[in-house]
Amino acid sequence: MKEELGIKREDFTELKKIVLDLAKAPKETDRSIKHLSDTIDLRTEDLEGDGELILKNHLEMASRKSLQVPGIAYRILLHLIPKE
């Protein structure tokens, strides 16, 4: 009957291969999504670490500046106060 319809054995072999590839696709997609998710998680952790370090550096700089500001303000006030 296959031959009467003009369908060759190779066509069925190719069709079988396509069906098997399609059956594998969701698993590969799941793996790809998992890999992408893991990569995003790792990158996010890296960014969080960098962000924490940057924030820590900014806080340290701010604390140094806050220590310097009163001294600077004091010196400015000394120049503004008329000398007797």
pLDDT tens per residue across span 43-54: 656 655 565 666
* Model confidence pLDDT, tens digit, residues 53-83: 666 666 666 666 555 555 666 666 666 666 6
- The rounded distance, in Å, linking the Cα atoms of 28 and 35 is 10
Judge whether 64 lies within some domain: no
Does a structural domain hold residue 41?
yes
pLDDT number for residue 84? 59
Range(s) of the domain holding residue 16: 2-58
Question: What Cα–Cα distance (Å) separates residue 75 from each residue in 8, 64, 65, 66?
Answer: 97, 17, 15, 15
Amino acid 58: pLDDT = 63
Domain count for the chain: 1
Q: What is the pTM of this model?
A: 0.33
Please report the pLDDT score of residue 23 as a whole number: 76
